[in-house]
């Protein structure tokens, strides 16, 4: 996952790529949520979250690709739900309305924490399986 966690106020003021939260950012985060959800389902009971990876600028695609308030609520709720079911403590913005660079960073940092948590659990599971594999046969 190529998440961005180092946005600054200067990025916004200078209008850099990191300073704008655009359709590409929404698609990247939604893709990460979908991938982490698939991994988490093997560890915790989690229904597949509804994600959307066809965000686009208004006028370029259908109206369904616009970032309506209800879609933004779902977007943030997905991240919160992933953190909740995996036991990851992360500070997240209250809503997507008036999203700041700090809030955008928090969302993507939370996903990195979820990924780290899930990969540690997976490593522990694989390691414990290797210790006992074949012992009953004397291998």
18/126 Cα distance (integer angstroms): 37
Tokens of 8: 């600054």
Do 85 and 46 form a contact (C-beta atoms < 8 A)? yes
Q: For 50, which DSSP code?
A: P
- Taking the C-alpha atoms of residue 65 and residue 21, their distance in angstroms, rounded to an integer, is 15
Q: What is the pLDDT of residue 71?
A: 83
Is 91:123 a contact under the CB 8 Å cutoff? no
Mean predicted lDDT score pLDDT of the chain: 80
Name the residue with higher pLDDT: 27 or 127.
Answer: 27
Alpha carbon distance, N-terminus to C-terminus of the chain = 38
Would you give the DSSP letter of residue 42? T
Burial class (CB within 10 angstroms; exposed 0-12, middle 13-18, buried 19+) of 42 = exposed
| Residue 40: per-residue pLDDT | 80
39 against 131, higher pLDDT? 39
**37 — phi, psi (to 5°)?**
-65, -40
């Amino acid at each position: 996952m190529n998440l961005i966690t180092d946005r600054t106020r200067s990025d916004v003021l200078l209008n850099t790529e990191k300073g704008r939260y655009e359709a590409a950012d929404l698609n990247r985060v939604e893709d990460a949520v979908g991938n982490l959800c698939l991994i988490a389902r093997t560890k915790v009971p989690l229904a597949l979250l509804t994600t959307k990876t066809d965000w686009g600028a208004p006028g370029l695609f259908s109206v369904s690709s616009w970032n309506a308030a209800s879609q933004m609520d779902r977007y943030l709720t997905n991240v919160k739900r992933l953190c909740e079911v995996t036991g990851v403590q992360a500070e997240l913005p209250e809503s997507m309305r008036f999203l700041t660079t700090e809030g955008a960073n928090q969302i993507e940092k939370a996903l990195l924490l979820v990924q780290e948590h899930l990969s540690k659990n997976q490593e522990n599971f694989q390691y414990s399986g290797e210790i006992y594999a074949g012992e009953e046969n004397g291998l």
